[in-house]
Structure 1
């Protein structure tokens, strides 16, 4: 949190630095090939800040529930993901009870259902993953570099990890429910009393299940100490509770183009877990020709409604079900994995030095100029904070796997993720994988550039 600004006498005020100049990188911006898969993602991100306990997201049937409108009646079967990202703040200075996040799965059938947990992670802001200042580019081979719980969760799942808190398999008897997560968001001892928890779990069920995420203040023992809610207490909240409060800002309908847009936060089931793409010149060829020396082109990442960087492509996952006061799409694609292949081809007669970068240009829908706009001094606000996995053969022909942690601010062009010295006629496959992290602000781009100077090759 930013400290309170000290108000200085007028005579002591320091000059305000001039606004950063815009720098235009003249180039082509291309839509990203491929598409989202059809795996449903339970996306619980509204309300982001929870002050009153209740239902965050329920896909249970509404029959028999006290508040039918709090239940979206969406069954899962086969592969599905669960994403949750919520913040707890003490409602009053003297109420420092922990807020528990519960994720419950229910088997409506008569036969037992097996739910396999492939990957999963959940972290708090404090103490697990505080928002610390990090360099814009850090090697992250061991996965120890992160800032914020969403960053750390995506980092774990990208590496295929399953935290010990999650069993490899859950067996739910017919007609019964089980807790997938029952974890606190403590605020006591924190200044300010504010904390957050991010969660991402990848699962497969061999039968129908319903899911719900719920928020409940910690019940207390006779001695006044906190305890975790029981399954019965969670079921009572699910059956008799209403939506958690306060509600976030109501989103602007997508067809409304005459006013500033409010994207809203997501509470519903989005369609998509992976965006896979084999990026080539066209669907008819198996290679991606590198740019001419001194030239570059970019592929849009996580584009949103009215923020497509001139491509006209909206990558935000469509919502299969949602609450009426929450986002119309899963803007930002939090928790979705981009799995991209770039089969680069140097079709020139001379060696070329090629770089691949991830960048955060200024958001536009239609490009004002033929290229991307950056800032000479990037803005203060962090727009992307996460780890990218790279796979490629280096100049010696050895297969490399690298993990790079990036911190990019508004308008930041970013450093090269990969530098390849490609001989004439050389072909080199580069793989780029990332899970789009919570707290990031879209869109970004993946840029391929051929440098002018090849004297040192």
Structure 2
């Protein structure tokens, strides 16, 4: 390992003994010297149709169908069994697709591009009518909710009109607020032995369409999602379903063994059990120090807790992931009952994979924070490796301070986030340290780099992790110390630090002193 990677590893709290650049290794600098603990929450039992495989659709055809039977793959001509499932009672829908036609390299974003019509079809195979009521949901495409990458980064108040950060965030906000889009019917009846198109939206080439919906039926029914070209009527959409041909773009059909062996995740095409995750935790900040808990954790990113917040699939297409790895559209409600006093920061983090060449956008979505001071709604645009403060919490001594964090996990985010509560003074130190690390990175960037070496064989995450590259950096010229000295946490309202708090502070101080000593040794080379 060259001087700069080790230098940054130490400054970020990765430790200097036994550190390896492992492809799946990921770290959160905010947790340096601290541990996370599991939430031990639960998913509910509501079945949700997920139509996200293939994510990149290349042409018209069936995307998913829960009725019995088969449809034929455009790539191979082989019959693939439907993701058979009968919905009855509470249910949900999540659709997320991009249109990438074969000639996409010749398309211009500035001119009119071809489109597909994306539609959700309801099927009643029974002998009596089925009545459905819808609670909340929305449908958006890239025309209605354009994604402006650089303009929406950081944390800002959400406001009554959501930020346009793409269709996934736009629909998630409606569900988070419990609203039903006026363009959607609040109730509908499917006659016996019939089918109908519930909604349709345009899917522009190089663009995205997303839908989230929650409802309840009084009888069994099935659902299908189709993409049609030049559809002018409901009959055109039903004809696509009757043709029995899957939409092209199923790039994982030759990797079924890798999916089953969990070497790739693919995307979700099936029925997941659970549209909501709830957890409750009581924690004493005075006695135990900062709190870190996983939020949308995965097998790869659970921050040492071994808690995997991924819900299972009851039915799936053969090229779908084995479970709902993205948890897109799932509502998370985390109740934290906190004991402490004074100002604390509520922080959301995303890990950075060791050796990652460039940060990627890991989250663009919206959250609600409820406390005794009221409701805050914030929009967050986060890059990998970042830690962003969502809100300041003013905790009252001698009582439990309830805080609820809620979000509907938006499509195109990368799961595996960390939720932290730490003293405002400690967060200020962390921010100062991050600024100095950035100065060190900038200084290293001005030095000529050696020729890149080939990266090791990586385990693919296919959209859930950014590509990882390893590039050696020329020796770094000495820079000022990266870690400012730790100061004792202030006491609030006249209270003194508890023995446990002082012990925690001592451990921080010892770790920082050890890191400073190693850094001085490195810079003295």
TM-score category (smaller protein): 0.7 to 0.9
Alignment partners' CA distance in 1, 2:97 and 2:65: 15
Which of 412, 426, 430 aligns to 2:403? It is 430
Correspondence list, 1:262-341, <5 A? 262-280=264-282, 288-292=283-287, 295-341=289-335
Alignment partners' CA distance in 2, 1:290 and 1:56: 49
**If each structure's strand is expressed as a fraction of its own residues, which one has the higher value?**
1
Aligned to 2:380: 406
**Deviation readout 1:53-89 (Å, 9 max, x if unpaired):** 1111110111899986342220000111000000113
Aligned to 1:380: 359
The offset of 1:91, in angstroms, is: 3.4
Distance 1:56 1:270, change over 3 A: same
Alignment partners' CA distance in 1, 2:378 and 2:257: 36
**Deviation readout 1:361-395 (Å, 9 max, x if unpaired):** 236xxxxxxxxx999xx95311011111011113x
Q: How many corresponding residue pairs? A: 393
**Deviation readout 1:317-354 (Å, 9 max, x if unpaired):** 111111111211111200000011111123xxxx4433
Alignment partners' CA distance in 2, 1:270 and 1:126: 29
RMSD between aligned residues: 2.7
1:60 aligns with 2:63: no
Alignment partners' CA distance in 2, 1:124 and 1:161: 18
Aligned to 1:163: 181
Correspondence list, 1:99-178, <5 A? 99-133=116-150, 134-178=152-196
- For the 8 Å contact 2:55–2:97, the answer to whether it is kept is yes
**Deviation readout 1:417-454 (Å, 9 max, x if unpaired):** 2321422x122111111011111112001112235234
Alignment partners' CA distance in 2, 1:54 and 1:112: 28
**Deviation readout 1:388-418 (Å, 9 max, x if unpaired):** 1011113xxxxx1110111111111111423
Aligned to 1:248: 251
The offset of 1:152, in angstroms, is: 1.1
The offset of 1:298, in angstroms, is: 1.0
Task: Work out which structure has the larger RCO, using CA pairs closer than 8 Å and 6 or more positions apart in sequence.
Answer: 1
The offset of 1:186, in angstroms, is: 3.0
**Deviation readout 1:131-175 (Å, 9 max, x if unpaired):** 332131101131422411101111111111111221000111101
From the CA coordinates, give the structure whose radius of gyration is larger. 2
Alignment partners' CA distance in 2, 1:254 and 1:446: 30
**If each structure's helix is expressed as a fraction of its own residues, which one has the higher value?**
2
Gaps of 5+ in 2: 14-31, 425-488, 495-525
Alignment partners' CA distance in 1, 2:230 and 2:81: 22
Greater shift in the superposed pair: 378-387 or 111-120? 378-387
Distance 1:414 1:420, change over 3 A: same
TM-score, with length taken from structure 1: 0.79
Alignment partners' CA distance in 2, 1:48 and 1:200: 15
Gaps of 5+ in 1: 1-17, 188-193, 220-227, 281-287, 364-372, 395-399
